[in-house]
Amino acid sequence: MLDIHQFTYGEDNYGVLLHCRNSGDTAMIDAGDAYAGELALERTGWSLSQIWITHHHDDHTAGLAVLKAKHNAHVIGPATRGKPLAGVDQQVDDGEHFSFASREVKVLTTPGHTLDMTNFYLPHEKLLFTGDTLFAMGCGRLFEGDAQMMWASLSKLMALPSDTTIYCSHEYTATNATFALSVDPDNQMLIDRARQVTDLRASGKPTVPTNMSLEKATNPFLRVGDGAIKTAINMEDKSEVEVFAKLRKMKDNFKG
């Protein structure tokens, strides 16, 4: 069994520690803040053996050098075409596997937010780390890739089992819910979920992790084939990619 400890840093970032009681191995997913990472390790009493980097943005890598040096951790990160990300020991590409605590970790590249975006999936545990690709009721902004690329990436994640548990890197859920309701106002599951999110946030609780079946039912970016959403944004006879591109643009300009 794996223990999971989620911690916060920055304005709205989540970091995660993954720990195996049998082997004692511990992985940290992303290393955006060395201080917050250290605090999480102190609180849990776990000793860091691996760091998995999802993408090159500062809020995912700024603490890497310090954490790696202090714990002598093995760092796994995106396969880049040019020189590797500073501090990455092992570059991994789409479809590859590596081992953590005698378990298989599958690498899924999901470009769109960045070109190097790398997600990690543990098939046995049905556990997925989506970085800034898939958020609760949302998805990452397109900084480096385009809509077609991001839609292909999200489709890749949607092919995973519906009971997959999803950890994403930001607490954006409340604003994502407001946007989702604006384009999918009659979706009862979404209405119910938005209410739960308001309650959770009011009591200072995280809305992450989420799971794939909930996302498929309430995340507009995964529901671009849905007739009601298409009608709501005047895209009835458009393709999934076109609907996705329009939703993403609307969200970029959305003032909830």
Minimum distance, C-beta of residue 203 to Zn ion, in the bound complex (Å)? 28
As a whole number of angstroms, the distance between CA 8 and CA 16 comes to: 9
Displacement of CA 188 from its chain's centroid (Å): 25
**Neighbour tally for 160: CB within 10 Å:** 17
Nearer to Zn ion, 140 or 220 (CB): 140
As a whole number of angstroms, the distance between CA 217 and CA 214 comes to: 5
Nearer to Zn ion, 115 or 200 (CB): 115
Minimum distance, C-beta of residue 61 to Zn ion, in the bound complex (Å)? 10
Minimum distance, C-beta of residue 245 to Zn ion, in the bound complex (Å)? 20
Nearer to Zn ion, 2 or 78 (CB): 78
Nearer to Zn ion, 25 or 132 (CB): 132
Both tokens assigned to 100:
């953590």
As a whole number of angstroms, the distance between CA 79 and CA 85 comes to: 9
Q: Which residue is nearest to Zn ion (CB)?
A: 57
Minimum distance, C-beta of residue 175 to Zn ion, in the bound complex (Å)? 16
Helix axes of 34-44 and 64-71: crossing angle, nearest 10 degrees: 40
Residues forming beta bridges with residue 29, ordered by sequence position: 16, 52
- Residues in the site for Zn ion, rule: CB under 5 A? 57, 132
Nearer to Zn ion, 112 or 220 (CB): 112
Minimum distance, C-beta of residue 1 to Zn ion, in the bound complex (Å)? 30
As a whole number of angstroms, the distance between CA 111 and CA 146 comes to: 9
